[in-house]
Structure 1
Amino acid sequence: MSLPENFNGWEHLQKTYMLEYNRRVDKFFSDVQGNGDLSNVRSSLKLACRLVDGDNEATWSLRTSLFFDVIGYSRKNLSIFYGSNIDTALPVAGHPQLFLYFSQDSQAVPLNGKRLDHEKSCRLTRYACKSGQSLPAVTKANLLDIAHEIKAQFVSGGKGIIYTAGKLSVSYTDPANGFPKGTRWLVNSKSEAIELYGKLCNVIDRPFDINKMNVNTPEKDSTTQVINTTDTILGKQYKQYAYRPVANLRFRYAYVSFGGSASPIFLIDTTFRNTALIA
């Protein structure tokens, strides 16, 4: 089919680019209603990122640079290193490792405060990382099942569930079922830890045993998230960190790591920054 006589290639390119670009902006800011406003940080960012008819070349460049470079959308799916390259082998080494990441909503971070986050992991002891071992190697179908279970347990209404972090340090030790010694969850109540560990056990299809849980309650109280006190080290001043502040953390994404040089596989990502097995 031939192009119309009055076809303008540059105008067609602009309209196509704008349509596809704004579609990605809308997906990234899916938690924001409409095209954005000035009511909160994310809504304001969406308003600043979306291309609109009438933008001049400078505005076009600033909007796309803000979205792709500053916010970092263009860096998704790049090779990212997780963990430390001097980690020693754990008793559950050889099994894929499942990570769940949680963080504060940006609008909940106090002025001059630090955004809090937490990452929790366990091992998929039903599977091996690679073939040739006594257990079956994990397959894409296995990971899809786990991804759907994560969505059922940790996502509600299209958003990650929220738990309240605090000063209680709760560990769960069951190496045979994927929980080696040394991991912990900082929570504000024991009941919340029971619910979170129960959900994680459901995800990996392992039994939850409350007798394998250990709760440590420090005498020191949680401090506020914003600390004005500073320490002087080698002549430089550094702000002190808040001690286990009480804050709401939301589930963001989950991925599986296989160790070595293999890239992690994202199972689900509510931030849309990484290509995941399920939406």
Structure 2
Amino acid sequence: MAIPENHSPIEHLHDLVRKKHNQEVRRFFKNQSFDEPAGTPKQQAAYACLMKDEDNAETMIMRKLFFEFDCGHAQSLQTPIYGVPVQELQRDTKFRPQIKLHFREPFDFEKHGDGTVSRVTGEIGFRITNKTSETISRADAVEYARQIKAEFAPSKLTWKKGHFKCTYLDIENGYDLRLFCLNKSEGISTIQSVLKILDKPYSDNNFQFIENTKEFPANPGTHRVYGRTVQKFKQRPIADVKLTHAQMLVYGQIKPVNLVSVAGRLKNAIENI
């Protein structure tokens, strides 16, 4: 379709930003009135956050910043995590270097656009048993990063998550893998790619495919939680997830070593995809 003669790219951008922003504002302040600038504090905030047709770029930015940071919407985007501060963990626990691969389902507007369905994530981790925090080096990290990029670049490998559990236990070499996969062959293929990072051989004796007849419905239904009806968690969802980033954790170092970053997810990564 040809671009209209009177088309304005700036106005087009303004319209899209305004529509998307106001959709998020209305969801965030879903129980508030949006036309009461002298109402309750929440009503005033809801009124101030909504972008108007006559807003210029500066005003739109002000409303965006006020909504995200002062009203707290940006905080709601962070997934709640149960965790321990790194300093406290390392004070009590000493460990071999670890590599963690992080995966996420690509965004699909039809599936994830309304915000009610979360993207499926995944994580694969293992230890480097022949190295310690004293002996591991930058050169080692560079080699690991190159191998991860070669094996797990999104264009090369997709982890097909599913109902079946595949395990790979090789304690001597630092592997205790437990992956949910679509089938046995997908599980073996993914595990073999993990082993190639440290150039370790695959052994059928370490692999186990656990079959089950239990059903894992795509829509698990709802239940009551804290006086509200909420959606139950979906168990073992079926989804294609791709690498988003990979990091190495080293005892004695607070920040992880960023090995691989996809689409600029991490700063100062050794390899970028």
TM-score when normalising by structure 2: 0.65
Q: Aligned pair in 2 of structure 1 residues 234, 56: CA closer, same or farther (>3 Å)?
A: closer
| Aligned residue type for 2:60 | T
- Count of matched residue pairs: 211
C-alpha distance in 1 between matches for 2:154 and 2:131 = 28
8 Å contact from structure 2 (residues 86, 254) kept in 1: no
1:117 partnered with 2:121: yes
1:252-271 equivalences under 5 Å are 252-259=244-251, 262-271=254-263
SS in 1 for 2:255: coil
For the structure 1 residues 83 and 211, does the alpha-carbon distance in structure 2 shift closer, same or farther, using more than 3 Å as the test?
farther
- Unpaired runs of 5+ residues, structure 2, are 1-9, 21-55
Partner SS for 1:219 = coil
RMSD: 3.7
Residues of 2 paired with 1:67 and 1:236: CA distance? 26
Partner residue in 1 for 2:160: 164
Report how far residue 215 of structure 1 moved: 1.4
In 2, the alpha carbon distance for the partners of 1:211 and 1:198 equals 14
Q: From the superposition, tell whether residues 262 and 235 of structure 1 become closer, same or farther in structure 2 (CA, over 3 Å).
A: same
Match of 1:127, SS state, is coil
* Equivalent pair of 1:103/1:250 in contact (CA under 8 Å): yes
Residue type at the aligned position of 2:59: A
Aligned-pair distance for 1:67?
A: 10
Does the CA contact (< 8 Å) of 2:244 and 2:265 recur in 1?
Answer: no
Q: 1:98 to 1:59 in 2, by over 3 A?
A: same
What fraction of aligned residue pairs are identical, expressed as a percent? Answer: 20
Contact 2:96 2:251 in 1 (8 A): no
Amino acid at match of 1:194: I
Does 1:149 pair with 2:147? yes
- Offset of 1:163 from its aligned partner? 2.0
Of the three residues 243, 247, 270, the one matched with 1:251 is 243
1:83 deviates by 8.4
Shift of 1:114: 2.1
Secondary structure, counterpart of 1:121 in structure 2? strand
Distance 2:85 2:179 in 1: 19
- Within the candidate set 180, 186, 203, 1:186 is matched to 180
1:60-139 matched pairs, under 5 angstroms: 60-61=61-62, 94-107=95-108, 109-110=111-112, 112-129=116-133, 131=134, 137-139=135-137
- The CA deviation string for residues 121-167 of structure 1, in whole angstroms up to 9 with x for no partner, is 001122112x2xxxxx111111001101101001154xx73221111
